[in-house]
Structure 1
Amino acid sequence: MTMERAEFWGTRRMGVALVTASAVCWSTAGLFVRLANLDVATLVVWYSMSACIGLGLVCALRLRGGLWRAILEIGWPGLVYVIIAALCATSYVLALQYTSVANVMTIYASLPLVATAVAFLWLEERVSRQFIVVGLISIAGIAITAGAAATINDAIGLIVSFLMTVTFAVMLVVSKRYANLDVLLASAIAAGLAAAVCAPFMNYGVPSLIQLTGCVLYGLLAYGLGINLALVGGRMIKSGEAGLLTMLEIVLGPIWVWLFFGEEPTIEAVVGAATALGAVTWYLSVERQPLPEPAPS
């Protein structure tokens, strides 16, 4: 294996590891939302404040005296990222207020397809035949879940879930397109923006210790660590592949709330998720095979 190929596969493996770790972190979001048990605005404010403070401290230590300068020089890509990230985080919490974690996660299975579509239109990334097959199978899995929506609330939750999925796909592509963008700093600003927007609508009573714990863990682990691992790792691999790896959340997310809160997924959600995940497993087993060495000239 040539040095270039060794470096490529090493970088790719690191990207895969980071995105996989992010999926584990982000899968706990539903658990912490249920633990907090607050209305949307109040939950968003408390967890966003936790994320903003936590990420802000990390940025302050890393940038030292250059923090304010970095904020002022974030540029229009950073502003786009901040707005999209704030919308993504808020819509996810809103979706969980209307429908189950399993339903939200199954709609989230469309992320690889959406991320690839955005990357194809914006970055002109190539799309393999295998990926097209996986995308179609994933759509079938989503259709199974969406077709079983029992109430108006479920339907609203599924629509908001798709909005969350689209915004996260844009975040992945923006972070890859603008490699110099400080995603950690931008995520901290986005959390602050989300808190400021939702503050007028929150309940100003002090939550219980358990509720605050859920908010803080959501802000630091699921949002702070989970999203940023995905964005950093996503720069090392294709946008669609990063989206596929994050689908590990589809399995873990419903498991956490089932174990701790007894929230059982519907049969349709299980079938839909299994369909999408089976396709992803096949795709990754094909795509990770090393390319053949070129014949010597």
Structure 2
Amino acid sequence: MTETGTQKRSIIMMVICASLWSIAGIFIKLLPWNPLVIAGFRSLIAACVVFAFMLYSKIRIVFNRDSLLSGVFMSLTFLAFVTANKLTTSANAIVLQFTAPVFILILSALVYKQRFRKADIIVVLVTLFGIALFFFDQFSPGNLLGNCIAICAGLFMAVMFLTTGHADENSRMSGILLGHLFTALVGVPMAFIFPTPVSTGAVLSILALGIVQLGIPYVLYGLAVKGCPPLACSLLGAIEPLLNPIWVFLFDGEAPGFYALIGGVIVIAAITSWCIWRDRQPQIQ
């Protein structure tokens, strides 16, 4: 296959991947379980999908710094995101998690001593302004806590990306598998502590989350990341926060507040515009 053909196939896989990620809010809202239990069983099922893919593709499971760190922070991302979905609106949870690129920028400057550009500082300030608008809606303690946890999910995701930025295929896929297993180790035992009613709807919802929303997309991501251009990956990643609240509104009737809606538009527009601009600039040390 030509390079152009490989890129087109990778872009298609990324579109499918981001679209499947976006259905999380629907099933998380439908499940009457504790968020840790949901995260645990969702990742347990997804781990089976990823492990089957690794066996089929003959990808080795490795335990090194990259795979272990990415696994830990992926697990923290999953646990924080599902918890945030239960405490605040799905729109708030997914958009606030989408702040990960800003955290990557900040951490890269602090840890790797990379220099800021003026545009970098502007996008951080604009994104922080957009995030602040989320806290003008729904001042109940639950929603406030949910918004804060969603921001933490963005931070955890940023650290995960940084640890796997230069990882080889074995380390990258091993990190994904370990992330699911760590989440399962934390969440599954919680089913014996919190009420976890089992019904046909609950079983179908957790299977959809584990296989369709998490397992298959991460396999697609692992395949697409080799050939998808950085600009395309950045833009296609915005599909998830755009579609997630739409699905939840259509199926659950949940709508974001007015200020959260404005803040979400600002956050997505600022980060997407920054990704386009950054991709066209020469790298600085």
Which of the five TM-score ranges fits, normalised by the shorter chain? 0.7 to 0.9
Report the alpha carbon displacement of residue 173 of structure 1 after superposing the two structures with TM: 1.6
Report the alpha carbon displacement of residue 191 of structure 1 after superposing the two structures with TM: 1.4
Checking the alignment, whether the CA contact within 8 Å between 1:111 and 1:243 is kept in structure 2 is no
Question: Higher Cα Rg: structure 1 or 2?
Answer: 1
Q: Which residue matches 2:87?
A: 98
User: Which region of structure 1 is more displaced relative to structure 2, 278-287 or 170-179?
Assistant: 278-287
Q: Distance in 2 between matches of 1:255 and 1:268?
A: 17
RMSD across aligned positions (CA): 3.3
Report the alpha carbon displacement of residue 46 of structure 1 after superposing the two structures with TM: 2.0
Q: For the structure 1 residues 129 and 19, does the alpha-carbon distance in structure 2 shift closer, same or farther, using more than 3 Å as the test?
A: farther
> Which of 207, 214, 238 pairs up with 1:247?
238
Report the alpha carbon displacement of residue 256 of structure 1 after superposing the two structures with TM: 0.6
Q: Which residue matches 2:157?
A: 168
Checking the alignment, whether the CA contact within 8 Å between 1:137 and 1:276 is kept in structure 2 is yes
Checking the alignment, whether the CA contact within 8 Å between 1:112 and 1:244 is kept in structure 2 is no
The number of aligned residues is 278
1:42 maps onto 2:37 in alignment: yes
Q: Which residue matches 1:294?
A: none
Q: Which residue matches 1:22?
A: 17
Checking the alignment, whether the CA contact within 8 Å between 1:95 and 1:160 is kept in structure 2 is yes
The aligned runs of 1:149-228 (5 Å cut-off) are 149-203=138-192, 207-227=198-218
Q: Distance in 2 between matches of 1:234 and 1:169?
A: 16
Report the alpha carbon displacement of residue 60 of structure 1 after superposing the two structures with TM: 1.5
User: Which region of structure 1 is more displaced relative to structure 2, 50-59 or 145-154?
Assistant: 145-154
Q: Distance in 2 between matches of 1:134 and 1:228?
A: 31
Q: Distance in 2 between matches of 1:242 and 1:112?
A: 12
Give 5+ residue unaligned stretches, structure 1: 1-6, 292-297
Q: Distance in 2 between matches of 1:123 and 1:48?
A: 31
Q: Distance in 2 between matches of 1:190 and 1:277?
A: 26
Q: Distance in 2 between matches of 1:264 and 1:215?
A: 23
> Which of 261, 266, 278 pairs up with 1:270?
261
| Deviation sequence 1:265-286 (CA, Å, 0-9, x none) | 1111111111223334544554
User: Which region of structure 1 is more displaced relative to structure 2, 191-200 or 151-160?
Assistant: 191-200
Normalising by the residue count of structure 1, what TM-score does the alignment of the two structures yield? 0.79
Q: Distance in 2 between matches of 1:226 and 1:54?
A: 10
Percent identity of paired positions between Structure 1 and Structure 2: 21
Checking the alignment, whether the CA contact within 8 Å between 2:69 and 2:175 is kept in structure 1 is no
Q: Which residue matches 2:105?
A: 116
Report the alpha carbon displacement of residue 18 of structure 1 after superposing the two structures with TM: 5.4
Report the alpha carbon displacement of residue 14 of structure 1 after superposing the two structures with TM: 7.5
Checking the alignment, whether the CA contact within 8 Å between 2:33 and 2:196 is kept in structure 1 is no
Q: For the structure 1 residues 206 and 274, does the alpha-carbon distance in structure 2 shift closer, same or farther, using more than 3 Å as the test?
A: closer
